[in-house]
Chain A
């Protein structure tokens, strides 16, 4: 079933078609909402809000973009509005977060790390990145959207997206290297 056919079925009131759409895109919406909002207790409500907005606005979907891109844009805008409502200061973040600027990373492990722990550590560090960095990382690496699609979703210019991606990866890499130095063991060799 193409996107256009699916949209038409939903407009005709076919709840099974909508169930199919939700099942197909809930992972994407969960990742976008989750990475921006980060509070498990809020995530399900916001995901519901996203899909109800999708349903309300689906008549306006013209098929110019992919349905997934359109849904991701709604998820992004809804999550950002939620952050604004909560008045979290994340949106006015520093371009160079404190940890990058050379402050001590308190969460750095002092005990030798296992292979899985390194991955968990990195995942934790992703969650600590500024919201825009987390968003572009998620859309690019996890959801495999192109720069152009990320531009459509977030409204950020392509140059900014590339810059955020590169800086976010640099931050994470620096943290990884810092861990390796502190532990004085070559954790990287365990990967192979």
Chain B
């Protein structure tokens, strides 16, 4: 009888300990900091997506114009290709500069503005 009582009490102790909160802690503003991180990540991916759309549209327009020029207006594509290969460095540098300006305008500046806005709150 005493043994049975003892085991019942042991079970109670056990359940009590198992249901008790362990001594681990997170900082008080953990949820706020996670929300900020999420907001920054969302903004970054959103701006990158917009940049990709802009870049795609610009490349598409250039491709359509080139196609119209060559196939419909009957321009000599070989002379165009020759111009590009002869001025490859300038063409690549100009294209890179344009995309960098677009990237800075559409992604970097907006992202840093967004960050400073969050930080100031």
Pick the contact of B38: A18, A35, A172, A176 (CB < 8 A). Answer: A18
Give chain B residues whose Cβ lies under 8 Å from the Cβ of A191.
9, 12-13
Given known contacts A13-B42, A18-B38, A34 and B24 CB-to-CB distance under 8 angstroms: yes
Q: How far is the CA of A51 from the CA of B16 in the complex (A)?
A: 30
- Which of B26-34, B52-60, B73-81, B93-101 contacts the other chain? B26-34
Could you give, for residues 4-44 of chain A, a 1 whenever the CB lies within 8 Å of some chain B CB and a 0 otherwise?
00000010010110110011001000110111000010011
Q: Does A81 contact B (CB under 8 A)?
A: no
> B37, A52: Cβ atoms under 8 Å?
yes
Q: Does A169 contact B (CB under 8 A)?
A: yes
B28 to chain A, nearest CB (A): 11
Chain A residues within 8 Å of chain B by Cβ, number: 44
Give chain A residues whose Cβ lies under 8 Å from the Cβ of B89.
none
Q: Does A71 contact B (CB under 8 A)?
A: no
Give chain B residues whose Cβ lies under 8 Å from the Cβ of A19.
31-32, 34-35
Given known contacts A23-B31, A126-B18, A177 and B13 CB-to-CB distance under 8 angstroms: no
In chain A, residues 56-74, which have Cβ atoms closer than 8 Å to a Cβ of chain B?
56
Given known contacts A13-B46, A18-B38, A192-B9, A122 and B26 CB-to-CB distance under 8 angstroms: no
Q: How far is the CA of A189 from the CA of B20 in the complex (A)?
A: 20
Q: Does B6 contact A (CB under 8 A)?
A: yes
> B42, A26: Cβ atoms under 8 Å?
no
Could you give, for residues 156-192 of chain A, a 1 whenever the CB lies within 8 Å of some chain B CB and a 0 otherwise?
0000000000000100110011001000001011011
Q: Does B25 contact A (CB under 8 A)?
A: yes
> B37, A26: Cβ atoms under 8 Å?
no
Give chain A residues whose Cβ lies under 8 Å from the Cβ of B23.
123
> A15, B25: Cβ atoms under 8 Å?
no
Q: Does A93 contact B (CB under 8 A)?
A: no
Q: How far is the CA of A73 from the CA of B92 in the complex (A)?
A: 48
> A137, B18: Cβ atoms under 8 Å?
yes
Q: How far is the CA of A55 from the CA of B34 in the complex (A)?
A: 10
Q: How far is the CA of A140 from the CA of B38 in the complex (A)?
A: 30
Q: Does B19 contact A (CB under 8 A)?
A: yes
Q: How far is the CA of A43 from the CA of B10 in the complex (A)?
A: 31
Enumerate chain A interface residues (CB-CB to B < 8 A): 10, 13, 15-16, 18-19, 22-23, 26, 30-31, 33-35, 40, 43-44, 47-48, 51-52, 55-56, 118-119, 122-123, 126-127, 137-138, 141-142, 169, 172-173, 176-177, 180, 186, 188-189, 191-192
Q: Could you list 12 further interchain pairs (A-B, Cβ under 8 angstroms) beyond the known A119-B16, A142-B19?
A: A18-B39, A31-B21, A40-B25, A43-B24, A43-B26, A48-B33, A48-B34, A118-B13, A123-B22, A126-B22, A141-B15, A188-B13
> Which 3 residue pairs of A and B lie closest in terms of their CB atoms, listed nearest first?
A188-B9, A34-B24, A122-B17
